[in-house]
Amino acid sequence: MAKECEMKLIGRTGSSFVARVEFVLKLKSIEYELLQQDLENKTELLLKTNPIFKRVPVLLHANEPPIVESLTIMEYLDEIQPDVHAILPSNPSERAQCRVVAYTFDTLYYPWMKEYMLIEDEKRKEELKTMVIQGMGMLEFAFVMLSKGKAFFGGDDIGYLDIVVGSFLGWFKLFRIFFDFDVIEETRTPRLSQWEKTMWSHEVTMSTIASHEIHVKWREMLLNRLKVCGTI
């Protein structure tokens, strides 16, 4: 009888937060099973394992209690498998910097991009565009500081911030194709622009970031929810 996989990821293809966890699992060569969720019709398993937020990703590892929140899951995986492709820097000060940048991305840049993607008000859209561009300027600064002249935030290879930001590569593509908006652009953010190309060429990125079509469908799902519930 086939052995049951001891790492299960409750998720949904197309979610950048789920992609973060998949990045880490793949880079660390940890076998896992993806339990796909329909976010419009959540399973008992999701509601039971993440009763407060009711969102993906949730990691189920053997008999441990479920772990929620993508950044927490990434750190957990790094702690249980420290010898294979370390994600966070070994230097505590650099680790702290990384966490602050990730926090800023998740609490500012991501909500700005999400609002931009869903609203129609042109004036607000322009405001958000300016805010996102300024945010990417800060991210460029962080990249220069942390990469130390190398190709990735993490140095020679993909690290924590490469995953945190890189999990949104599909969004950056959607913004270009759909809104003619280069979130990362060569003249404004030259180092990030090079980084974006390098990230796309990495085999783990290619197998982890969902297709453009899936991102388009995801946006439609959010728009529909906004129309029906008035909120997302």
Ligand X SMILES: N[C@@H](CCC(=O)N[C@@H](CS)C(=O)NCC(=O)O)C(=O)O
Determine contact, residues 178/223, Cβ cutoff 8 Å.
no
Nearer to ligand X, 50 or 205 (CB): 50
* Least distance from ligand X to the Cβ atom of residue 21, Å: 8
Neighbours of 42 (CB within 10 A): 15
Residue-by-residue DSSP string for 100-142: HHHHHIIIIIHHHHHHHHH---HHHHHHHHHHHHHHHHHHHHH
* Least distance from ligand X to the Cβ atom of residue 160, Å: 13
* Least distance from ligand X to the Cβ atom of residue 107, Å: 9
* Least distance from ligand X to the Cβ atom of residue 218, Å: 8
Nearer to ligand X, 66 or 155 (CB): 66
Nearer to ligand X, 56 or 204 (CB): 56
Provide the binding-site residues for ligand X, judged by CB under 6 A: 15, 17, 39, 55-57, 69-71
Nearer to ligand X, 133 or 214 (CB): 214
* Least distance from ligand X to the Cβ atom of residue 180, Å: 24
Please return the burial class of 192, using the count of CB atoms within 10 Å of its CB with bins 0-12, 13-18 and 19+.
buried
Nearer to ligand X, 70 or 147 (CB): 70
Q: Which residue is nearest to ligand X (CB)?
A: 55
Determine contact, residues 70/18, Cβ cutoff 8 Å.
yes
